[in-house]
């Protein structure tokens, strides 16, 4: 191939096919290299335990409407992530240097009470950013939000401590302030509080008095409960007596009614038996009375019936006998009597 042929333009129809092929390979390789570079530059990652906001470095613009969590994303070239912590952040206000810091540590807080007494506080608290509002946080504070948080927390804690309110009230106050800046107070711990000695003794005395008042209050409640219990016990004792009296009355009525019914049944049965005897023996009323009299002898204690006189007298009926059915079969006894009084004599 001559030098004249190499100098031909690529689009000239007289150029050889080898020159066109080489140019196509070169352009394709350059295009592929550019695509790979753009792809690599377009891939960005949000580390674990972080939130991310897409930021365009060319246009100096942030996408605050979309918050990215941990992972790898294709966000296009000239874009990167502005990172924010996703886990709980710890802030300490303490001068205890022998305690290893956890998170950011700042000097202890100093304030005065309403009476002008010095008050030193050592506090640790934890806050957490709200994921949905990270974009708003970036819009207002950029990435320097922590300095504003610390200043706000310090003022809130000092304000509450000056009113002698610590613990839950202090945490509620801090949480209320952080809610306005798109965060929340996850926890608050009072590490140390230094009070004047006189003020400390006054607090102890107040607590002792409150405890005494509570003790007396509970003693009064206990006495009241015991009195109420005694009244309830008396009421139940009264009800028990009424129930027992009613039960005894019912028992007496039932038993006497049963006895009366039994007696009536006995009398009715005796009357029927006597009526049968009267009909079978053809007795008149006088004879029937005599029969009842003699029939009653076997059930009478130490009763005896003699007939005859002198040495020839004999015992006709000797008691006691088994108080078996006396009236039934009484006609058999009269018929089996030894030679003695006749039926008419009886």
Token readout for 164 is 């002698």
Phi then psi for 102, rounded to 5 degrees?
Answer: -125, 100
Pairing of strands 89-93, 104-106: parallel
**pLDDT of amino acid 333:** 41
Q: Is the dihedral of CA 69, 72, 78, 82 positive or negative?
A: positive
How far lies 206's CA from each of 133, 160, 231, in Å?
Answer: 45, 20, 38
**pLDDT of amino acid 314:** 57
What is the per-residue pLDDT across 131-174, written as a single tens digit (0 to 9) for each?
A: 999 999 999 999 889 999 999 999 888 888 777 666 778 888 99
Q: How many CB atoms lie within 10 A of CB 164?
A: 13
CB 71 within 8 A of CB 45: yes
This prediction has a pTM of 0.49
What's the average pLDDT block by block, 10 residues per block, for the chain (346 residues)?
Answer: 46 56 73 74 89 92 94 90 94 85 87 76 92 94 91 88 74 91 91 75 84 93 93 92 92 92 90 84 78 75 66 54 43 41 39
């Amino acid at each position: 191939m001559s030098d004249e042929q190499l100098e031909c333009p690529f689009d000239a129809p007289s150029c050889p096919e080898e020159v066109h092929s080489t140019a196509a390979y070169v352009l394709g390789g350059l295009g592929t290299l550019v695509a790979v570079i753009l792809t690599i530059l377009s891939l960005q990652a949000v580390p674990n335990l972080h939130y991310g906001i897409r930021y365009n470095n060319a246009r100096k613009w942030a996408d605050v409407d979309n918050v990215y969590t941990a992972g790898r994303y294709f966000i296009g070239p000239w874009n990167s992530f502005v990172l924010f912590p996703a886990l709980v952040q710890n802030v300490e206000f303490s001068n205890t240097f022998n305690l290893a810091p956890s998170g950011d540590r700042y000097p202890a807080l100093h304030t005065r009470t309403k009476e002008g007494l010095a008050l030193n506080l050592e506090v640790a608290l934890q806050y957490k950013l709200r994921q949905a509002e990270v974009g708003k946080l970036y819009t207002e504070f950029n990435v320097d939000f922590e300095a504003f948080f610390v200043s706000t927390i310090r003022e809130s804690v000092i304000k509450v401590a000056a009113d002698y309110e610590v613990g839950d009230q202090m945490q509620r106050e801090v949480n209320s302030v952080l809610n306005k800046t798109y965060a929340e107070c996850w926890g608050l711990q009072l590490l140390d509080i230094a009070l004047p000695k006189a003020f400390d003794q006054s607090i102890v005395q107040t607590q002792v008095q409150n405890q005494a008042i509570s003790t007396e209050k509970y003693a009064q409640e206990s006495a009241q409960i015991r009195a109420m219990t005694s009244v309830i016990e008396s009421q139940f004792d009264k009800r028990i007596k009424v129930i027992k009296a009613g039960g005894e009355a019912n028992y007496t009525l039932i038993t006497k009614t049963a006895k009366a019914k039994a007696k009536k049944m006995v009398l009715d049965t005796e009357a029927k038996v006597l009526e049968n005897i009267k009909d079978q023996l053809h007795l008149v009323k006088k004879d029937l009375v005599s029969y009842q009299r003699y029939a009653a002898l076997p059930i009478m204690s130490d009763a005896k019936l003699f007939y005859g006189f002198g040495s020839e007298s004999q015992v006709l009926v000797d008691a006691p006998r088994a108080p078996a059915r006396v009236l039934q079969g009484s006609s058999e006894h009269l018929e089996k009597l030894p030679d003695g009084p006749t039926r008419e004599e009886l």
